[in-house]
Amino acid sequence: MQFLGICADVYGLDGQACEDARDYIASTGAGYPQIVATEALLRYVSYMPSTYIFDSSGRMIAKYAGTLSESEWINVIETLMAKYS
């Protein structure tokens, strides 16, 4: 299973990606890759935070709007791994 973080609160009034977003990504210490969202990508996000989970074929198998607790994420991951592994 691979995670990808997308920093979406990134554009200034001039339409350019804010350096603060890149600084934030660098400061998280997350153990997974993170990117700054493009305007095109943001057209598909209706709620933040949003989580989309894809299988190894690139098919979306789950979508979550809002935050989940650690125990909820563990349950989601274990359930999906059992179903799709």
C-alpha distance from residue 74 to each of 27, 47, 50, 71 (Å): 24, 22, 17, 5
Tell if the pTM clears 0.75, that is, is over it: no
Tell me: the pLDDT tens digits for 24-64? 777 777 788 888 777 788 787 777 777 888 888 888 888 88
Rounded Cα–Cα distance for residues 30 and 9 (Å): 17
Reading the block at residue 57, the tokens are 């074929």
